[in-house]
Amino acid sequence: MDAYANSVVQIFLVFILLNVGVYGRKQIAEAEGQKELKTTFAGIYLMQLICGMLVSSVYVIFTWTVASYQMIFLIYGLMLLAYALDISWFFIGREQVKRIMMRNTIVRLLSIACIFLFVNDVDDLWVYVFINGAALLVGQLVTWSALLKDLGWIQFSFQAMKKHVAPMLLLSVIPCVSLLYTAVNKVILGNIAGATEVGYYNQAFKLYTICMGFVSALSTVIVPRMAMHYKKGNQAKFRQFVNFSIRYVSISTIPLTFGLIGIATIFVPLFLGDAFIPATAHVMLFAPCLFLAGVADILGLQILLITNQSKKYTLSIIIGSVVSFATNILVVRTWGGEGTVFSFLIANFVIVGLQLYFARKHYEFRYFLKIVAKYTLFSAIMLLAMLGMKTLLVGQSDVFILAYQLITGVYVYLLCLFLSKDPMLFQILYRKVGKKHAKT
């Protein structure tokens, strides 16, 4: 029941947030001086607040019309309120994440403790939802206290909001379209292939989403600094960051892609259960999307958005979504859940292809190919070693095989990096050694 209610609430959340975080981070990073900072924040947040009020009003009407789980939906309203108050984008744009991270971590730990204390069985679902919603709300209030300490009294005005309406509405198309093609494709899958196939798809998608958290973290941290350099006209520094991102995404997501493919046949039944063995193919098809999503983050968020090419960024997402929808219609009847994942993979290829073209003036394509080819070769060698280890250990327990596959994969990949004198690896090693010597 909670999964169903949460999925409905997530749809409302999309229309509250509307990519405010992406736009807000960039604008706050570019703001100079206290006055401009306050005006920029006031204009962007007023837009977010209005969207939050409108969506919350629709949500209240929705809760009174539903016949089932009405109390749960009403309590979930706390989550909507919390996200309407979300201003984490301000601190990310100012590169001050640490200031709020510790406070929110404490609030989150307290909420987990409350869940263990007060949630005992399925009848306590409303308590569980209330604790999570209240924790989010308290976390936002803590964040607001830090913001008011920085900016003081903030005067909101429609005049300050006016300049942000058009670009924010343009970017708001992206989460709406993304929601459409992921949600609609899932509905199509359920109607044609049945609930079981949707279950396989959902489990594979959850694993993909967890991995994506590590992939998207770079853009969250690096975009404010890149926006600042671009606004100041420091093209050399901007390109340096782009090259760093290309290497970082390639060195991390390509082996993650190959590694996930290598362990999928053991990992899926071991952690999801034998009932989800058919989801193995789904996981393998989702794996390349990690690298493609990382590249799309660089091209879309770090280049197109910062260089004021939001229309091209949005266009690439829309075209990719349409292609995904059309592909799913064609293949889902034959391939089931695997067809839906395949349509998602094709969409990512289309999005990256378009963004590679749109962003071509701000990166070197030869450098991109060289870096991707290098780490693809190393990852392929790693995969062969992992599969070889699996063959050697036939008959052993799955946990034992998985552990040795992971150890072998990490060792072989790091060895390839070391023998090739990879600059990123040695940069990390020098930093570690430098810190060690600094302490002695």
- Reported as a single tens digit per residue, the pLDDT across 145-172 is 889 988 888 889 899 899 999 988 888 8
What are 356-365's pLDDT values in tens digits?
Answer: 999 999 999 9
- In the block, tokens 């909507």 appear at 80
Q: Judge contact between 302 and 228, C-beta under 8 A.
A: no
Predicted confidence (pLDDT) at residue 2 exceeds the cutoff of 60: no
Q: Find how far residue 187's CA is from the centre of its chain.
A: 22
Q: How confident is the model at residue 239 (pLDDT cuts 50, 70, 90)?
A: very high
What does the pLDDT read at residue 106? 83
Contact 312, 303 (CB under 8 A): no
Mean pLDDT of the chain: 89
pLDDT for 150 equals 86
- pTM for the model stands at 0.83
User: pLDDT tens digits, residue range 346-359?
Assistant: 999 999 999 999 99
Q: Note the pLDDT tens digit of each residue in 406-417.
A: 999 999 999 999
Looking at residue 260, what is its pLDDT? 96
pLDDT above 70 for 439: no
Contact 318, 173 (CB under 8 A): yes
Provide CB contacts within 8 A for 354, sequence distance 6+.
312, 315, 316, 319, 320
The residue-averaged pLDDT of 36-45 equals: 93
Q: Which of 134-138, 335-339, 377-381, 397-401 has the highest mean pLDDT?
A: 377-381
Cα angle 178-226-308, degrees, rounded to a multiple of 5: 55
> What pLDDT score was predicted for residue 194?
85
The pLDDT of residue 259 is 97
pLDDT of residue 184: 80
Distance (Å) of CA 164 to CA 223, 305, 375: 19, 14, 40
What letter would DSSP give residue 300?
I
Which tokens go with 306?
């910062």
365: tokens are 């394509």
Backbone CA torsion sign across 276, 278, 279, 283: positive
In contact, 263 and 402? CB cutoff 8 Å: yes
Tokens in use for 150?
């920085």
Task: Report the pLDDT averaged over residues 395-400.
Answer: 92
pLDDT tens digit string along 264-295?
Answer: 999 999 988 899 999 999 999 999 999 999 99
Q: How far apart, in whole angstroms, are the C-alpha atoms of residue 31 and residue 43?
A: 12
Contact 258, 379 (CB under 8 A): yes
Using one digit for the tens of pLDDT, what is the confidence trace for 415-429?
Answer: 999 999 999 888 877
Percent of the chain with pLDDT over 70: 96
pLDDT score for 438: 44
Q: Are 116 and 127 in contact (CB under 8 A)?
A: no
Q: Three-class SS of residue 94?
A: coil
Per-residue model confidence as pLDDT tens digits over 298-315:
999 899 999 999 999 999
